[in-house]
Amino acid sequence: MSEAKPRIRVRGLTKIFGDKAGAALPLLAAGQNRAEVQKQTGAVIGLHDVSFDVGEGEILVVMGLSGSGKSTCLRCINRLIEPTSGTVFVDDTDVTALDERALMEFRRTRFGMVFQQFALFPHRTILRNVEYGLEVQGVAAEARRERALAAIETVGLKGWDQHYPSQLSGGMQQRAGLARALALNPDVLLMDEAFSALDPLIRRDMQQELVALQKRLKKTIVFVSHDLDEAIALGGRIVLMKDGRVVQEGTAADFLANPADDYVRRFVEHIDVLGVVTAGDAMRAPAAVKPWQSTAAEALASLVQTGEPVMTVVCHEGRFQGTVDADTLRRAGETELRLLLSDREACVPTSATLNETVAKLAGGRGEIAVIDAERLLRGVIANADLVAALARRRADTAH
Amino acid sequence: MAFEIPRIPLAEWCDVALDWATEHFSGVTRAVSAVVGAGIEGTTDFLVGLPPWLVIAAFGLLVWRLTTARIALATVIGFAFLWNLELWRATLQSLVLVLVSTLFALAIGIPIGVTAALSKRFWRVVAPALDMMQTMPSFVYLIPAIPFFGLGAVSACFATIVFAMPPTIRLTALGIMQTPAELVEAADAFGSSRWQKLFKVQLPLAIPTIMAGINQTIMLALSMVVIAAMIGAGGLGGEVWKAIQRLEAGQGFQAGIAIVVLAVILDRITQHIARHIRRDRQIERG
C-alpha cells in the first residue's frame, strides 16, 4: 500500500451459502478446499478468507472468472450479501457490525453502487432515477434536483434528464447508472462489472472516462471485472480471485513479472504486454548524457564513444532539457549544448506504458528520455531497448 | 358383522359455526348492512332520479377523460341501447353494486396482496384460502350472507366481495414478487427502507399487474352481482331471474345481452387504463 491509511480494509471475509455454514467453517479452517467442503456439507463456499485494502482515491479492480466470488465479495462490502465471517472497515466504521438502521444510513451516504445490467428504475425518468438516492435520504426536492442535474452533466447526459431509461442506449443507461451513484457524493463507489454489458468500443470509452472522472473526483472505487484488459485500462491494482480466494494482488505488470501460480500465469498469457509494461520497466541507464553547459565537441566525443543515436542533455539539477543529434554536434564546434537543444518533448514519464512510449519513439530520433514527475532524468529507451524488453516479457510468460 | 362408519357431520359443524357467528356478530353486521345498504340505495336512487341522457353524457365524458374518444363513444352507445331496452334502472342497480363491491374488494384485497408478497408465511396461509374462495360454488356464499346482512343488495355486495377479491390479492402479490431482483438490490444498495422500497419501486412497477387483477375483479363482480339476484339484489340479474320464473325466453335473452354490453364496456375501460399505464411508464419487461 502506498497510502498511509487505507480507506477500505477487508479482513478475512468468508461467505458460505446455505444453512450448513456452521458445519462448513471448521472444515475450511482445517484447510479443505471448496469442492471437498461442498461434498461433505452441501454448503457452497462463496468467499474464503479474503483480505485486501483499498487506498483513498484508488481504483481497485477485483478480478476473476465467473464463479470466482468477485461479485459476492463486492456485495459483502455493503452487505447486500451478509458475510458469514470477517470484517469490512470503511475508514473507522466496521460495516459488518452495523445494525439494520445504521447500515441503511451508511448505504445512503457512503456507498454508491453501479450495476452490470444498469438496474435503472424503468418507471422513473433519468432525472428521477439519479435523484433516487437523495430522495431516500430525504433531501429537499430543490436541492435534490440540482445535485442530480449536476451529476447528469458530469457523466455527459445533459439534456436527457426527462427521458425514460428504455429510450436510451446501453452506454447512456450506464452513464445514468453512474450519475445515480455519483449524485450521492459517496466516498466509495462499488462497480459491479459496470461496463461488461456494453459494446467493446463504448466499453473502452467508458473506461477512459471513468479514469478521467476518477482523477477529478478522487473517489475510492472497487471495480469488479472479469476482463484483464479492462483492469489494465483502469490502471489500478488488481485483486485476482479464484474459487472464492485471492490468488494474487498487485498490478498487471506484477502478475506478468511474478505470477503467483500457474493460474495467474495462464490468466496473463494473452495480455497486451505493450499496455502493461511501463517505460520505467523497459528503460536503461543513459550512456550519453551531458549537462547543458558542455560544448558540442565534448558531446560529440562522448556520443561516438557510446554509440548512442542522440546526446541527452540535462540542466544542473539533472532535469531533462532535450536532445542534440550527431550532425548538429559536428557542425557546432565549441558551441554550448544549451544553444543547440531540440526535442524538449522527446521524453515519457516512468509510468507511461510501452504503447505510449512506442508512439513517442516512432516520431523521434531513435531514443527518448524517461523522466519522473520532477522531470529528473531516470533513464533512456532506444528502439533496441524496447525490443529487448518485449523479448524478456515473452520469455517470462512462455512457460 | 356390520361395521358402520358414521358420517362426518360436516354440514352440522358448518351450521354450528355459522349459528355461533350469527348470534355474536349479526348485531354488528346488521348495522353495517343498514349503512351500506342505505349508501347503495341512495346512490342508485340518485342516479335513477337524474335524466338518463344526462347520466349517459356524464359517463361518456368521464370515460373520455380516462381513455379514448372511441371507447367513450362505445360507452355512450351501449348505455343508450340499455336505456332504449327500458333496462335503465336495472343497469344502474347492477353498475352501482359492481362498483361498490369492487371498491371494497380493492380496499381489502390490495393490502392483503402486498402483505402476502412481503411475508412468505402469510402467503402460505393466504394462498390456500384464495384457492378455496375461488373453487367454492359462488351460490354458496349467498346462504350465510342472508343471516348476517339480510336479503337484498348488501348480502349481494358481501358475497360479491368474497367471490371477486381473489384475483386482486393474487395479482397484487404476484406483481410485487415479480419486481426484478436487480431493481430490489439497487433500491437496497441506496439505503431504501422497507416502505421506501415498496412505495418507490415495487408498487409502481407492479401497477400494470395489479390493474390486470382489478380488471378480473370487476368482471367477477359483475357475474356475481347477476347471480346475487337470487337473494333479491335486483338489477339486470333480477330481470334474468324474473324471466326464468316466468319462462320468458325473450325477456331472459334481452337481459342477458344487456349484461354482456355492460361487461364489454367495463372490460374495455379497465383494460385500456391498464395498457395506458404500462405504456406511459415505458415499462419493458423480458
> Looking at residue A381, which CATH number applies to its domain?
3.10.580.10
The verdict on A345 and A203 lying in the same domain is no
Q: Which domain holds residue A313?
A: 280-391
CA nearest to B280 within chain A: A123
Per the domain annotation, does B62 fall within a domain?
Answer: no
pLDDT tier at A124 (50, 70, 90 boundaries)?
very high
Percent of chain B clearing pLDDT 90 (strictly above): 59
Q: What is the CATH number of the domain that holds A113?
A: 3.40.50.300
Minimal CA separation from B184 to chain A, in Å: 9
Residue A119 placed within a domain: yes
pLDDT tens string A258-271? 888 888 888 887 77
Residue, of A140 and A67, whose pLDDT is higher: A140
Q: What is the spatial distance between Cα B81 and Cα B76, in angstroms, rounded to a whole number?
A: 9
Q: How many CB pairs under 8 A join A and B?
A: 69
Could you give the CA distance from residue A131 to residue A151 in angstroms, rounded to a whole number? 10
A233/A343 same-domain check: no
In three-state form (DSSP H/G/I as H, E/B as E, the rest C), the secondary structure along chain B is CCCCCCCCCHHHHHHHHHHHHHHHHHHHHHHHHHHHHHHHHHHHHHHHHCCHHHHHHHHHHHHHHHCCHHHHHHHHHHHHHHHHCCCHHHHHHHHHHHHHHHHHHHHHHHHHHHHHHHCHHHHHHHHHHHHHHHHCCHHHHHHHHHHHHCCCHHHHHHHHHHHHHHHHHHHHHHHHHCCCHHHHHHHHHCCCCHHHHHHHHHHHHHHHHHHHHHHHHHHHHHHHHHHHHHHCCCHHHHHHHHHHHHCCHHHHHHHHHHHHHHHHHHHHHHHHHHHHHHHHCCCCCC
The ipTM of this complex is: 0.76
Which of A251, A274, A297 finishes a domain?
Answer: A274
Do residues A301 and A196 share a domain?
no
Classify residue B252 by burial, with Cβ atoms within 10 Å: 0-12, 13-18, 19+: middle
Q: Where are the beta strands (DSSP E) in chain A?
A: 8-17, 44-54, 59-63, 85-90, 93-94, 111-114, 188-192, 220-225, 237-242, 245-250, 289-291, 310-314, 320-325, 347-349, 367-371, 377-382
pLDDT score, position A395: 60
CA separation for the pair B35, B6 (Å, rounded): 45
Mean pLDDT of A172-177: 92
The pLDDT value recorded for residue B234 is 85
pLDDT over 70 percentage in chain A: 97
More confident residue, A360 or B280: A360
What pLDDT, on the 0 to 100 scale, is given for residue B279?
62
Find the mean pLDDT for residues B193-199.
92
Same-domain status, A189 and A263: yes
Indicate the range of A25-29, A130-134, B66-70, B167-171 predicted with least confidence: A25-29
Per-residue model confidence as pLDDT tens digits over A139-165: 999 999 999 999 999 888 999 999 999
Q: Which residue has the higher pLDDT, B279 or A199?
A: A199
Residue B56 lies in a domain: no
Same domain, yes or no: A207 and A81: yes
pLDDT band at A303 (very low <50, low <70, confident <90, very high): confident
DSSP secondary structure letter of residue A364: T
Same domain as A245, residue A156: yes
Q: Could you list the residue range(s) of the whole structural domain that residue B20 is in?
A: 13-49+85-280
Distance from CA of B30 to the nearest CA of A (A): 45
Q: What is residue A53's three-state secondary structure?
A: strand
pLDDT at A328: 83
Judge if A179 and A317 occupy the same domain: no
Measured between beta carbons, the chain B residues lying within 8 angstroms of A183 are none
Give the mean pLDDT of chain B: 89
Residue whose grid cell is 447528469: A152
CA distances from A134 to A3, B191, B251 (A): 31, 10, 63
**Phi and psi at residue A48, in whole multiples of 5°?**
-135, 115
Polymer length in residues for chain B = 286
CB A240 within 8 A of CB A64: yes
**Domain assignment present for A396:** no
Report yes or no on B78 lying in a domain: no
> How do residues B242-278 score in pLDDT, each as one tens digit?
999 999 999 999 999 999 999 999 999 998 888 877 6
Q: Are residues A156 and A114 in the same domain?
A: yes
How much is the pLDDT for A152?
94
Nearest CA in chain B to A180: B190
Examine residue B139 and state whether it is found in any structural domain, yes or no. Answer: yes
Are both A78 and A202 inside the same structural domain?
Answer: yes
- Whether residue A49 lies inside any domain: the answer is no
A242 in a structural domain:
yes
What pTM was estimated for this model as a whole?
0.76
A123–B190 CB contact, under 8 Å: no
Do A63 and A77 lie in one domain? The reply is: yes
Number of domains in chain B: 1
**pLDDT higher than threshold 60 for residue A398:** no
- Other beta carbons within 10 angstroms of residue A245's beta carbon come to 17
B71 found inside a domain? no
Residue A237 lies in a domain: yes
- Is A236 found in the same domain as A121? yes
Q: Is residue A189 part of a domain?
A: yes
User: Which single residue is written with the C-alpha cell 543529434?
Assistant: A325
Contact B282 A113 (CB under 8 A): no
| Grid coordinates given for B273 | 387504463
pLDDT tens sequence across B130-158: 988 888 888 888 888 888 888 888 888 88
pLDDT score for A135:
93
SS3 of residue A221 by DSSP: strand
Paired with A8 in beta bridges are A54, A90
Tell if the CB–CB gap between B191 and A119 is shorter than 8 Å: no
Contact A119 B204 (CB under 8 A): no
- In Å, how far are A382, B51, B79, B92, B94 from B60, measured between CA atoms? 86, 14, 9, 15, 18
Q: Total structural domains in chain A?
A: 2
Question: Which phi-psi region, left, alpha or beta, contains residue A383 (left: φ > 0; alpha: ψ -120 to 50)?
Answer: alpha
**Which of A123, A167, A178 is best to mutate for the B interface (most B CBs within 10 A)?**
A123
A136 with B190: Cβ contact below 8 A:
yes
Instruction: Answer yes or no: do A221 and A167 share one domain.
Output: yes
pLDDT digits (tens, 9 = 90+) for A25-41: 787 777 777 788 888 88
Query: What is the SS3 assignment for A254?
Result: helix
Residue A383 placed within a domain: yes
The pLDDT confidence band at residue B281, using thresholds 50, 70 and 90, is low
Q: Residue B93 belongs to a domain with what CATH number?
A: 1.10.3720.10
Pick A113's closest partner by Cβ from B183, B189, B282. Answer: B189
